[in-house]
Amino acid sequence: MTRLLIAAAISMIVSLFGTKALINWLTEHRIGQPIRDDGPEGHQVKAGTPTMGGLALMLGVVAGYVVSDLFGAVFTRRGIFVVLAIIGGGAVGLMDDWIKVVAARNLGLSKRAKMLGLLAVAIGFAFLMSQYTGVHETVSFTRFDNPGWDVGRWGWMAWAVLLIAGTTNAVNLTDGLDGLAAGAAAFCFAAFTMIGFWQFRHFDVYNNPAALDLAVVSAAMVGGIIGFLWWNAAPAQVFMGDTGSLAIGSGLAALALATETQLLLPIVGGLFVVETVSVILQVLVFRRFNGRRLFRMAPVHHHFELSGWPETTVIIRLWIMSGLCTAVGLGLFYADSIAQGVA
C-alpha cells in the first residue's frame, strides 16, 4: 500500500510542476494548438493554447513508478512493459503534436503513419508480454480463466494489438473538451489500481505475480492525471494533445491485458466506448442516408455542446457517466471475487 501512495504522490507532484514548466516554455516559444475550422464555433478562442501536456504526465508516471521501488517490492516484467507501452504511445502522439504546431495546422502525422506507429507499439508490447511474462493467452473478463477462451500465442497477440489500437483511438476521440478525457481516464486507472491490488492479495485465484507492480503503474497514472488536470480543467491552460491521449489509451489497454481483464475494459471505460460508437454511427448514417446526420456533430460531446449545453456542463455530466461505468465494472469484478469465495 505504501508503494501505491508514493507512486501516486510523486507522479502528481512531477506532473503538477512539470506541466506548469511546460506551459511556460511553450508559451515563451509561441507553440500552441491549432483548432480545426469545422469544429464548434466556441472552440476558436482556444487556438494557440499550449499543447503536448501529456509529456509532463508521462514524466510524472515514470518518476512515480521508479521512485516507488525504493519503498518495497521490485519491478516486474509486466509492469515495465506496461510503462514502455505508455511511453511508446505517447511518443507517437508527440510526433503528431509536434508536426501540428510546426506546420501551424490541425493535421499532424498522416492516418497511415500514426496507425503504423501505434501498431509498432502494440506489436512490440504483445510480443514482449507473450515471450517473457508467462501471461495466460486467453480472452478473459474478470480473471484469466473467466471465460478463459484459449486463443494461443498468435491469437492472443492479435487480440492485444486490436485492443491497444481500439483503445488509443477511443481516448483520442474523447479528448475534445477541457479535462474530459483526463478525468474519465482517472476513474479507469483508479479501478485498475484496485483490481491490481486485489489480485495481489489473492494470488491463488488470479495467478498474477505482477499484480502489485501493475497496481503501482495504475496509481502513478492516477497521480499524474490529477497533477495535469490542475492545468487542464476548463478553461484549459494546456491541452494533453495526442501525446497524452495515446499514452493514456496505450496504458489502459496494456493494463487490461496485463491484469487479464480485457473484456472488463469496455465497461470500466464505458465513456470511451460511447464516444467511439457515436462517431461510427454518424459515419454510417451519413453514408447510408445521403448526407443526413444522426448527431449535430460527432463525437457525441460536441452534439451536446451544439444543443446548448455549456462546455463545463457537458464535461461534468460525462464525468459522472464515466464514474458510473467504472463503478459497474468494479462491481462485476467484485461479484466474481465473491463467487470465488475470496471477498
Rg (CA), the chain: 19
Q: Cα–Cα distance between 306 and 213 in angstroms, integer?
A: 43
Q: Is the dihedral of CA 127, 75, 53, 264 positive or negative?
A: positive
* pLDDT at residue number 271: 97
Q: Cα–Cα distance between 64 and 6 in angstroms, integer?
A: 7
**Domain coordinates in residue numbering, the chain:** 2-262
Q: Which residues of the chain have pLDDT under 70?
A: 32-48, 72-73, 103-108, 343
Other C-beta atoms closer than 10 Å to the C-beta of 306 total 13
The H-or-E segment that residue 24 falls in is helix 2-28
- Tens digits of per-residue pLDDT, 260-282? 999 999 999 999 999 999 999 99
Q: Cα–Cα distance between 202 and 28 in angstroms, integer?
A: 51
- DSSP symbol at 108: -
- DSSP symbol at 50: -
- Whether 213 and 79 have beta carbons less than 8 Å apart is answered as yes
Closest of 96, 72, 109, 65 to residue 255, by C-alpha? 65
